[in-house]
A = this chain, B = another copy of it.
Amino acid sequence: MILALLIGSTGRKRETEMRPAEELRYLILAAQREGNRQLAHALRPLGVTPSQAEVLRLLAEHAPLSLMQLGELLVCEAGTNPSRLVSSMVQAGMVHRVTAPEDRRAIKLTLTDRGQETAAQVEQVEAELYAMLDASTAGFDRDSLIRWLGGLVANQPSGEAIERRKNPGTHYATS
């Protein structure tokens, strides 16, 4: 502590408290980064990345989807076009991509057998991490947090993607 004071007097600005909103900003960033790292680490043996895993699980639940529909449900890349992400998975033999019969501009995405297997493994990995997250919210008002965060991202692409996933069938472009 004496050392800290000595360093502090070598031309440094006097230390100030970090503003709560600033701390919250960085904590949200930190939570996302560290969560993503843990997920990426757990998924590594399956040979998929977190974003790819999200696609696998969405297709397992909702296939067939067009690229746009998929983009509307993806949080990792909300509001954009996940063409490259899907291409990597077609290359890897996890996703089938065919031109949609009713609209030559569009494609239909489904999982291959391999994709189905990987999606099931992803689901297990996720369940383990969710159990850890459940444990960390024990004794904490999780529902309030969910409501607050939901309000924070409402009417923005990522927030809308989450809403669509919670209520499939009511937000879809007609397929």
Q: A residues near B, CB below 8 A?
A: 1, 3-5, 7-8, 12-13, 15, 17-37, 61-62, 75-76, 78, 126, 129-131, 133-134, 136-137, 140-146, 148-153, 156-159, 161-162, 165-166, 168-170, 172, 175
The answer to whether residues A166 and B34 also contact, given A76-B29, A136-B151, A141-B144 and a CB cut-off of 8 A, is no
Cβ contact of A168, chosen from B15, B36, B133, cutoff 8 A: B15
Q: Which of A29, A133, A143, A144 has the most CB of B within 10 A?
A: A29
27 contacting pairs across A/B (C-beta < 8 A): A1-B170, A4-B170, A5-B169, A13-B61, A18-B166, A20-B134, A21-B130, A24-B149, A25-B133, A26-B161, A26-B165, A27-B150, A27-B162, A28-B28, A28-B31, A28-B32, A28-B35, A29-B36, A29-B75, A29-B76, A30-B78, A31-B149, A32-B32, A34-B152, A136-B152, A140-B148, A141-B144
Contact B35–A130 (Cβ < 8 Å) = no
* Alpha-carbon distance between A76 and B146 when the two chains are bound, in angstroms: 24
Q: How many angstroms from the CA of A13 to the CA of B61 in the assembled complex?
A: 6
Tell me, in angstroms, the Cα distance from A163 to B140 when the chains sit together.
22
